[in-house]
Structure 1
């Protein structure tokens, strides 16, 4: 088991991603690459044009004898040659001899892997666009929804929920931009042959490789060495960073949906069971799935880094490990993004509880506001000392902040009752939270439109 699956995996709409992990998808990619290679070689005058046409016509999954391929595999013990043999057999005899002409196994396997990855990547971008659309809506709708800001697990100064979402948007956009910017480095075709030097077709090799890349909607490698792996490692790391943002959102939902806080809740469908023994249980299914799969995803780039440094011009021990890691990373990311999309779309926001929590300390969270107002008269350091003494006395002994502020002659002289109550009202001290939320919402909406 690569990704962590649960009951939600059975019911969530996978947007057609999971079928891209099936064996048939891999074989279709190999066939597409062999057909593209033949076409490019024919255009370059390296093989007969008719051969390329025949290979393209024959390179269809319905023409492949998979039982025969399995029999040959058991006989010769090579992971790719059996596929070639049945493809050659599917072609007219005179054309079949030009199948896989002048290249090596890894050229097709790696290019095929990256071709499928690109299809999955495109699905990820669509999902990410939907997530950004959901976040944009949350940030805009709750730009002025006041709640406690928290640092070190304790109340800090007030914020709005839209502002909290704006931080997620900022990191999410950064992660998407990293992935999009890396496309030209990641999704590359290699057709350099055994060690990447185009030894079998030096006159036309680079031209053929560039044309194959064009036909596949990909990019050619500058140096088609089988030992180059940092582009794949980069993609895995970028997935981890995107997963990290989703993880952060999920952790916030997981923690703030606790009954004691109750500021948000996952969308709930009546009939969903949370426990075999506790009938009342409503668990954060989406959040916990994101958390578990993200934590596993983080471990993969480190292992991939060890795999990527195998010496010389090619080593199957490297491919065997790295290919498995990449597929695992993609499956984990699939589960993360599917859950993140539903989570951000169906999240329930309890505005009343957020305000109630912001008011819980009876204005103490606005101590900075009081300090900055007093600093205009006393200076920052003196104002800090003054308000600190009052705030700590209030917090330590459970006293009333307003009463203790009024008891100070300097403060009582400066503010009447209404002014002082306004000063310690959390709704009066959210800074630019609303503005930042609205600006982030617009950025998210703009990128979402590009991705969808």
Structure 2
């Protein structure tokens, strides 16, 4: 079995950075097939509008088959001409014969490349959407199952207040839903075709017909390809591609954050989650005992790379006129972002599906001996406020007590019981209730129910992508 350069063509690395289904979308053959789809639509509509003869259009359409165009010939012609699309056109001329004199009549290279890229992006976005929906469903299912599973909420990596694991998962489900929403909403800004010619003014098409027919040409071609027809030319409008990469990078960053929290909760000293490892699993070449959450760790690296692609896309916004600066950027950043986020989605979804929730450990960590019961400080403060109406005083006294607890390594309750001004308001029975942290979870369970219900009300998905205009 042969392999190609790392990472995406490497037998050893490609499944660490991408998925087979997403790689299939971005194969070179698919790219050229997309070019042919665009050229075919242009030729068919030009024939309908009387711009090219029917016999030539029929022959052109017949020859626009993926297997009919040898990519090595395209490469060789491109090398000799110094231009990718010229290499494609010369190869097509060899295949098609005299009918090719009526081929590619008026469009510019960018019309074909950008519209073809948009077609591939549509297929890739559908796959990302499918994967994100699967992740969202898993999060919703597990959030409901854990809506009452009490755990210690943490801020700044420190114990803060009790929450539920279900609320953590429901928050992630809402975040995934918002990313889906952004991806769907963005389609109305990037899902455009282009049949605009050299500088976007459709000069050649007007010469071949008239102003209204030239506009009708673009409208029909876009409709045939399932794309929107732009009101004005899209050349230089790389913000539309950039927005998609930004959304993918943001989604990947969210997945990295999920992975970080999951693997933090799996650390032996926390042990609130566990992962199922196969019988032959081994995470170190020298330490036989090691079981590392490496897939979740790698998502952080994927997110870093996706962010780099988003940053690179910004560079295209500084171009004054369209030029070949865009080629290495678009054909690296756009496919790269989709490939990375597809792997990240599959990795985190798989992790969530198989994770083991150690509820007893979560409950025990509420009263972790190193915390000395200080997570009850806010609850005690609120109880004192309700008795005295003095929030500032209560906050100050509990802060002082917490500092004494930390300095002397004594439980916070013990310190409070030594303070006459506090015990004057709180009995031992009341302190028993206040220090039972499992009952101090606020509206966590209600938020889980509402969040999941809202997602399900919308069909478990963000809004459906808007289809192309048909009028």
Bin for the TM-score computed over the shorter chain: over 0.9
- Rate the CA distance shift 1:404–1:3 in 2: closer, same or farther, 3 A: farther
**What is the number of residues matched between the two proteins?**
450
> How far apart, in 2, do the equivalents of 1:177 and 1:407 lie?
55
Is 1:112–2:154 an aligned residue pair? no
> How far apart, in 2, do the equivalents of 1:432 and 1:8 lie?
44
Determine the structure 2 residue equivalent to 1:422: 433
Determine the structure 2 residue equivalent to 1:406: 417
> Do 1:15 and 1:123's aligned partners in 2 also have CA atoms closer than 8 Å?
no
> How far apart, in 1, do the equivalents of 2:348 and 2:29 lie?
28
Structure 2 residues not aligned, in runs of 5+: 1-5, 465-471
> How far apart, in 2, do the equivalents of 1:176 and 1:3 lie?
25
The 5 Å alignment of 1:35-434 reads 35-91=40-96, 93=98, 95-202=99-206, 203=210, 204-312=213-321, 314-360=322-368, 361=371, 363-378=373-388, 379-409=390-420, 411-434=422-445
1:23-47 CA-to-partner distances (Å, cap 9, x unmatched) read 1111111111111111222222322
Determine the structure 1 residue equivalent to 2:467: none
- Rate the CA distance shift 1:4–1:272 in 2: closer, same or farther, 3 A: farther
> Do 1:129 and 1:447's aligned partners in 2 also have CA atoms closer than 8 Å?
no
Structure 1 residues not aligned, in runs of 5+: none
What is the DSSP-based 3-state SS (H/G/I as helix, E as strand, rest coil) of the residue aligned with 1:308?
A: helix
What is the DSSP-based 3-state SS (H/G/I as helix, E as strand, rest coil) of the residue aligned with 1:159?
A: strand
> Do 2:18 and 2:343's aligned partners in 1 also have CA atoms closer than 8 Å?
no
How far did residue 6 of structure 1 move? Answer: 9.7
- Rate the CA distance shift 1:403–1:6 in 2: closer, same or farther, 3 A: farther
- Rate the CA distance shift 1:190–1:13 in 2: closer, same or farther, 3 A: closer
- Rate the CA distance shift 1:4–1:22 in 2: closer, same or farther, 3 A: closer
Deviation larger for 340-349 or 17-26: 340-349
- Rate the CA distance shift 1:8–1:343 in 2: closer, same or farther, 3 A: farther
- Rate the CA distance shift 1:408–1:111 in 2: closer, same or farther, 3 A: same
How far did residue 415 of structure 1 move? Answer: 4.6
TM-score by length of 2: 0.89
> How far apart, in 2, do the equivalents of 1:446 and 1:296 lie?
35
> How far apart, in 2, do the equivalents of 1:143 and 1:216 lie?
45
What is the DSSP-based 3-state SS (H/G/I as helix, E as strand, rest coil) of the residue aligned with 1:38?
A: helix
- Rate the CA distance shift 1:354–1:86 in 2: closer, same or farther, 3 A: same
> Do 1:3 and 1:293's aligned partners in 2 also have CA atoms closer than 8 Å?
no
What is the DSSP-based 3-state SS (H/G/I as helix, E as strand, rest coil) of the residue aligned with 1:158?
A: strand
- Rate the CA distance shift 1:324–1:57 in 2: closer, same or farther, 3 A: same
> Do 1:5 and 1:289's aligned partners in 2 also have CA atoms closer than 8 Å?
no
> How far apart, in 1, do the equivalents of 2:455 and 2:279 lie?
32
What is the DSSP-based 3-state SS (H/G/I as helix, E as strand, rest coil) of the residue aligned with 1:220?
A: coil
- Rate the CA distance shift 1:6–1:396 in 2: closer, same or farther, 3 A: farther
TM-score by length of 1: 0.92
Greater length-normalized contact order (CA 8 Å, ≥ 6 residues apart): 1
> Do 1:192 and 1:224's aligned partners in 2 also have CA atoms closer than 8 Å?
yes
What is the DSSP-based 3-state SS (H/G/I as helix, E as strand, rest coil) of the residue aligned with 2:289?
A: coil
- Rate the CA distance shift 1:300–1:68 in 2: closer, same or farther, 3 A: closer
Aligned Cα root-mean-square deviation (Å): 2.5
How far did residue 160 of structure 1 move? Answer: 0.7
